[in-house]
Structure 1
């Protein structure tokens, strides 16, 4: 991230600082809609694109290789739905989940931005009659562009800080 964000420039006109705040709120809403796309669609409901199509630009790619190796590097965001939600997808053994997104640190340069957003993702699963929980922490690093329909992610990189699982009682 750079250090040339509008919020660190009190010498800019009030209107520019106000626009920065409006843009930040819109970008933060994108981050929440991404998580809502995951969390509102559980128990076999794979309709995450209802939200994700309002988060990502049509040409957007994601790099989730931190979670699953080279096949997840720079794939189209719609392909990620199959990787996660398909019959053998990474979420196929999960019973419930919730994705918490932190407040984004955002650097803007006109109609482009870079956002780094903390996340805490919780998952409840079961294998052979044994319950377990999985927690993942990390960041999403997003490149965004302002479009006529609003801010959209054009590329997302997943960074995992740590992940752990533990049995349920």
Structure 2
């Protein structure tokens, strides 16, 4: 176990901020088309496990490929809003490796017949994080759905259904 000194606290705060940045950077990318902020939360190679959510395979990708994963899943939504809890559980394995777990409510907005619809997922994110020369980065992400609410067509849209 790590000694809880100043460096421990600085690392703990940086990992908390990283967990929040993961969601806010997706929202920013969806709103602006600039995905560089989201790409920057990852190590050069990242394992993405969205299998419990999207029914997809676990994949290991270059960080530059991660925006395509998000764009594909969000293509049907006009806006997305991640409300990530700042209460992030962190377990340090070493001075440069840790596991972080946080909860998020993610609202997805889409039009249907001229009426805005909302679909929200409450999820637990588990991140394997690594301290790099440019700060803490996500090496692996697991999204575990806890609950859905709103128009469940949203889940089908994430999983690839297209509106005609």
Coarse TM-score class (shorter-chain normalised): 0.7 to 0.9
Aligned-residue offset at 1:75: 3.8
Q: Aligned pair 1:68/2:32, yes or no? A: no
SS at match of 1:40: helix
Q: For residue 59 of structure 1, what is the aligned residue in structure 2?
A: 45
Give the distance between the partners of 1:40 and 1:66, measured in 2 at CA. 24
1:11-49 deviation per Cα after TM superposition (whole angstroms, max 9, x unaligned): x4xxx4222111011111212221221122335x3322x
Tell which structure's C-alpha radius of gyration is larger: 1
SS at match of 2:101: strand
Q: For residue 135 of structure 1, what is the aligned residue in structure 2?
A: 120
Q: Which runs of 4+ in 1 moved over 3 A?
A: 77-80
Task: For CA contacts below 8 A with separation 6 or more, give which structure has more relative contact order.
Answer: 2
Q: For residue 18 of structure 2, what is the aligned residue in structure 1?
A: 30
Q: For residue 33 of structure 2, what is the aligned residue in structure 1?
A: 46
Q: Does structure 1 retain, via aligned residues, the 8 Å contact 2:98–2:130?
A: yes
> How many pairs are equivalent?
149
Aligned-residue offset at 1:78: 4.1
Q: For residue 158 of structure 2, what is the aligned residue in structure 1?
A: none
What is the TM-score of this pair, normalised by structure 2? 0.80
More deviation in 141-150 or 29-38? 29-38
Q: For residue 102 of structure 2, what is the aligned residue in structure 1?
A: 117
Q: For residue 164 of structure 1, what is the aligned residue in structure 2?
A: 149
